[in-house]
Structure 1
Amino acid sequence: MSPTPFSRRTLLRGTGAALLAGGLGACAPGNTTGSNPLPSAGVTKPPSGEITIWDRTGDLYKVFDKAIASFTAKYPQVKVNHLAVDVNAKLPATLISGAGVPDGAFYDDALLTGVAPHLHDLSQLIEQYKSDIAPYKLGVVTVDGKVIAVPWDLDPGLLFYREDVVTRAGVDPASLTTYDALLDAARTVRDKSPAARPIHLENDQFLGQLWVDMFANQQGGAMIDADGKLTIDSAPYRTALTWLDKVRSEGLGTLAKYTQPTDLQTQDNGTQVFVPWAQWFVFTPQQLLKTSKGKWRATTLPAWQAGGARAGVMGGSSFVIPAKAKNPELAWRLYEHLVFSKEGYTTVYGPNQVYPGGLNTSIPSYLPALDPDTPLFKPIGALGGQDLWKIAVEAGKQAPGGYTIPTWWGKAVDYFGVNVQKLLAGQLTPDEVLKTSATQIQKNLMGPS
């Protein structure tokens, strides 16, 4: 039996639960980042010693286990206790108690700002690699001017589509260069098949918020600016919500929760044919879809205006080194190997026993690894043999930087995530969503402006 690919839905549902339970920002007085810089001195010696590393259970744990073996083979004086745990649930409480703290852990980007006070400042160590890290990712792992995590993956948004349905309707996939063009294509598909509701509309509050954030990031927007000022009531969000409202009002969308029965059924039967989503959607045609497996293709996202960016980012994870780690320098050496060495990232992303074709649900955030002509994973049969590597790399390099994640992002789901669903139900206008959400977030999560 072939292994089950890493499910980003499972990952993100865990993230949502952890975020909604509250971050650590409120638990740590004073600065929002730790004041314990991990210096570069002492990490140039041949590594030796013992560390404990946490990763999530499942196939991704197995991938990292093999990659860690490549590190210990290179440095046999190192012992790595690699543990599979529910990191999102366990790490916050562990950081607070200070008992049983790991030397390093794999952690969601959306959670980083909440635990920043409890992490080592890695700025000195990352400095030599800064220019080679995707700008979006560098922004995410930088809090108050300090780099507080080792950046791992990049999750560019792509447009997935049913090639058979689209071409049968007379739509040229190469024409899907703007969101207006995508609307026109959806209308054409529906004209040919009146039962079609071609464009995916996300019906989950948490994932819906993450999804709209991708559209905003594509336009250079974010919920807050670099100074922490609330910027959700702004043009990038208004443009995205206005477009989604048009999809809804014209009956061009399938409102469904990602990978749930309605979503999968409509994708298989050809009534849902356009899915603008993160690269990790590729998990769906590979493992969940039945009759439409092999009929899906991917391209870069449409642009919001001609010549605009053809990508945003949706999700992602990094490696953190707790301030109370017993052997933080050695943890850094491991993560430096996994992220910044060719041997390391090739082992993580390349073909292995877990993923015979390579790990294809994301791409590295380390730019030297993103050679479009040197793929780390193989073409994907569930996409008709398409070379997703080249498409994802092109998209990843276009993703705008400068994105900042607020500590209260997860709690905002109770407001913005809920209000987005009201828009998709026809109960609120785009302006009402933004103004109401901004008021709620400012009052309940941020305090007086």
Structure 2
Amino acid sequence: MAQSSTGWGWDIAARSLQDAAETYNEQEGAEISVEELGSDSWEQRFQTAITSGSGAPDFSVVQNFDVTNYASVNGLTDLTSRIDEAGIREDIVETKWGTVSHDDAVYAIPWDIGPTGIYYKRDLYEEAGIDPNSIETWDDFIEAGQQLPDDVAMVNLPQGDMGQTWRMYVRQLGGQAFTDDGAVAIGSEESIRVAQLMKDMSDAGISTRIELWSGSWFTSFAEGTLASLPSAAWMDGTLRAELPDTAGNWGVFKLPAFEPGGNRASNRGGSNMAIPSQISDQSVVNRAFDYCLWAMTTPEVQNTMLEEYGLFPSLTTAYEADIYDQEQEFYDGQPIFRLFAEVATEIQPYNYTVDSPEAQDALETELGRMLDGAKSPEQAMTDAAQTVADRTDRELA
């Protein structure tokens, strides 16, 4: 009888795993299946299963910031020895290992990452005389944005996304929400520089504040009232699916640096494959791990997931494939995957903790107040740091 194993995932992550499972089942004579859930439904069901100690899947997709949360309550299987035996550490983008580790143990197999860049509308840039190749720093970006017509915004600073945006930019500077020893670092010089950048964008009149993923957000790109989108490689799949009529009118360049010659790489998002600790049948654990390892570390599988679903691999051996240098019609022939592969190897590490959600909430609130004119960047970040320290009983860095 074939060994069966059932996993959970959401949206395109689940679908890509289902496709991979069909190939794996044929090759191995196994019965791997993946249940697709909405992301909110997954969170509720997985949290309930881990908390109650029963009802968990044999394996599951787990987002970067969730690995620490579930590992800290002994909800995930320690995979350290299996990972070491598989010998895959050097094949994965180095900074990814920090997102799957807790107390020096590895609790998930790394999957996709979110190397960043600026997606831009070619027609809007060209009409305003903006050369993306000349944008090397954020100061350059702001100056370029001032060349656009008054009814066209250079960049969006969306409510509800300030914490995530802060994290994307602070990682360029090697900044953190929490230090290696757990102190709150939101009041750091790097953090204040990021807040100042957002304020500078707003003060320069180049920004708008449209809710992310809303109909008006997509319309702003379709109608040409928003020119740029700082985001990650996975946004490619969304743009293709939601804005097919804009094909050929997009380009991508690396995030501008904070100073000439500075780091232009960051990360936004990413997920991994974990096995709940309540799965006690070792034959099931073995099958689940074997499938997840195969799916995550086989270049052909990872590149199919990239091509079909826009999920960018942390597996560096995948970057040798022809797809990374292929001209992409949606981007007027630009081979954008090679750009993202270059960014992926330069991403700075980041510390996730069980209190990362508290940091996100405090940043969201205080950055919003700053953009409303109520606080300076330094005061906003100082207040956010104090809020997190008070709520978590952590020290200030």
Q: In the alignment, which of 313, 318, 326 is matched to residue 364 of structure 1?
A: 313
- Unpaired runs of 5+ residues, structure 2, are none
Equivalent residues in 2 for 1:291-440, closer than 5 Å: 292-325=246-279, 326=281, 327-350=284-307, 358-360=308-310, 362-371=311-320, 374-375=322-323, 379-401=327-349, 403-440=350-387
Q: In the alignment, which of 159, 170, 177 is matched to residue 223 of structure 1?
A: 177
| Deviation at residue 280 of structure 1 after TM alignment | 2.7
Distance 1:283 1:421, change over 3 A: farther
| Deviation at residue 259 of structure 1 after TM alignment | 2.6
Q: Which amino acid aligns with 1:147?
A: V
1:223–1:406 CA contact under 8 A, matched in 2: no
Q: Which residue of 2 aligns with 1:160?
A: 119
Aligned residues: 386
Deviations 1:366-407 (A, max 9, x none): 111122x52269654432343221121111112112x11121
Equivalent residues in 2 for 1:52-71, closer than 5 Å: 52-56=6-10, 58-71=11-24
Deviations 1:110-165 (A, max 9, x none): 21111012111111222221122112211111111111111100101111111111
Equivalent residues in 2 for 1:32-431, closer than 5 Å: 49-56=3-10, 58-76=11-29, 78-85=30-37, 86-116=41-71, 117-127=74-84, 128-189=87-148, 193-204=149-160, 207-289=161-243, 292-325=246-279, 326=281, 327-350=284-307, 358-360=308-310, 362-371=311-320, 374-375=322-323, 379-401=327-349, 403-431=350-378
CA–CA separation in structure 2 for the residues paired with 1:66 and 1:265: 32
CA–CA separation in structure 2 for the residues paired with 1:262 and 1:294: 21
Q: Which amino acid aligns with 2:162?
A: G
2:324–2:335 CA contact under 8 A, matched in 1: no
| Deviation at residue 448 of structure 1 after TM alignment | 5.7
1:171–1:185 CA contact under 8 A, matched in 2: yes
Q: Which amino acid aligns with 1:184?
A: E
CA–CA separation in structure 1 for the residues paired with 2:326 and 2:158: 29
CA–CA separation in structure 2 for the residues paired with 1:423 and 1:309: 26
Aligned-residue RMSD, C-alpha: 2.1
| Deviation at residue 263 of structure 1 after TM alignment | 2.3
| Deviation at residue 363 of structure 1 after TM alignment | 1.2
CA–CA separation in structure 2 for the residues paired with 1:212 and 1:286: 26
Distance 1:275 1:255, change over 3 A: same
1:70–1:344 CA contact under 8 A, matched in 2: no
2:117–2:233 CA contact under 8 A, matched in 1: yes
CA–CA separation in structure 2 for the residues paired with 1:363 and 1:280: 7
CA–CA separation in structure 2 for the residues paired with 1:134 and 1:62: 24
Q: Which residue of 2 aligns with 1:24?
A: none
| Deviation at residue 411 of structure 1 after TM alignment | 3.1
Distance 1:331 1:377, change over 3 A: farther
CA–CA separation in structure 1 for the residues paired with 2:138 and 2:179: 25
| Deviation at residue 292 of structure 1 after TM alignment | 4.0
- Unpaired runs of 5+ residues, structure 1, are 1-46, 351-357
TM-score normalised per structure 2: 0.91
Distance 1:70 1:406, change over 3 A: same
Q: Which amino acid aligns with 1:68?
A: A
- Determine helix, strand or coil for the equivalent of 1:316: strand
Deviations 1:9-46 (A, max 9, x none): xxxxxxxxxxxxxxxxxxxxxxxxxxxxxxxxxxxxxx
CA–CA separation in structure 2 for the residues paired with 1:124 and 1:295: 48
| Deviation at residue 430 of structure 1 after TM alignment | 0.8
| Deviation at residue 223 of structure 1 after TM alignment | 0.5
